[in-house]
Structure 1
């Protein structure tokens, strides 16, 4: 292999980085974690701007019909972030956003929607080692009792209140995250704990939030 060929191969390999992989294997004890490389420098991506406390009066007339989420507000964390539908892959692995997107939220495209009668609206976002991603802000600020508002087109919205926050070992998994036949709620997951030299986070933090209004 020539020096030029080796240089090109190295450049391509360096470009393939993942801030936090949140696929199906994250919640299964029999899966092998994929190694992660360092994310791009924080200065190359937008910053997460903390949001104010949400006004609960907006939740008095929630949408009653299911809708596709497009924006999200999280009490004291972010005022208005995009929600982007990401399909699962051929193995059924839950999709995540590109590794350099640290400010938006991924929704399980084709899965449970806000307003559906049963099941979990599956959301995830990235955590970065430098503490600058939306997942980091959630770990710092989002607690039981806080509000999460999902917005759709034409003014549709549905408010949720965080009912439970838990942290699980990545190796152990937590199957209830993927529930489809329980009460309607948000299930929001981010990487947490410590990050190994191989780029794998030790834990996952999950918030469950119930609809209100």
Structure 2
């Protein structure tokens, strides 16, 4: 190889080496700069996961004494309870036929059993309207077996679970609706069946709801005697 060619080859190799070294140096510098600029990433604090605090069970324990009912809650909605005396024929009173009355329960006052009593049926009733716009109508769709009802009053809560629904003729005297000495139940009555032109309904629908988590309460005061032929059905709604 001629001397001139050797010189050119050596020069080319030298230039190439310089370029490679310079490129490597730039790469190392860039990496160092990135490391300096980025720096160590902060470690975020971790917290133990917590489950939502469950809502207290209003039915836990049951009432610790008998009490006058003020509201009955069905599926989260509260309905007022009216304390009503019986009429001259010994028929349990019903709420007034008013815009508010058709959405209220009527409760057969003492000597009928109270919620929280040791035994007996707590008797309540509700109106049924032919246009479907009253509480009784709503009960037909909202009280299937297993439904929990919360009865409240005087700072007490007693829950009941629907265990049975049945229908009887309006003039029935042996439906079991009234039972002062039977199991702890909430007995609910509403008119049903066919409605005559005079406003009388042919049947009564009754729900029996068993007390949930019932605890022993104070003995009930002596009861006044019932009339021997107390009817078991409430008057017809309009």
Distance 1:172 1:124 in 2: 16
Residue 88 of structure 1 aligns with which residue? Answer: 86
Deviation at 1:89, TM superposition (A): 2.1
The answer to whether the 8 Å contact 2:168/2:175 transfers is no
Residue 73 of structure 2 aligns with which residue? Answer: 73
Residue 97 of structure 1 aligns with which residue? Answer: 95
Deviation at 1:90, TM superposition (A): 3.2
Give the 3-state SS of the residue equivalent to 1:132 in structure 2. coil
Give the 3-state SS of the residue equivalent to 2:189 in structure 1. strand
Residue 36 of structure 2 aligns with which residue? Answer: none
Residue 8 of structure 1 aligns with which residue? Answer: none
Distance 2:174 2:137 in 1: 20
Change (3 A) 1:171 1:60: same
The answer to whether the 8 Å contact 1:149/1:158 transfers is yes
Residue 191 of structure 1 aligns with which residue? Answer: 191
Residue 61 of structure 2 aligns with which residue? Answer: 61
Q: What do you get for the CA RMSD once the two structures are aligned?
A: 1.6
Structure 1 spans left out of the alignment, 5+ residues: 1-54
Q: Is the radius of gyration larger for structure 1 or structure 2? A: 2
Structure 2 spans left out of the alignment, 5+ residues: 1-54, 214-238
Distance 2:56 2:137 in 1: 24
Change (3 A) 1:166 1:175: closer
The answer to whether the 8 Å contact 1:112/1:121 transfers is yes
Equivalent residues in 2 for 1:5-20, closer than 5 Å: none
The answer to whether the 8 Å contact 1:168/1:174 transfers is no
Deviation at 1:153, TM superposition (A): 1.9
Deviates more, 1:60-69 or 1:201-210: 60-69
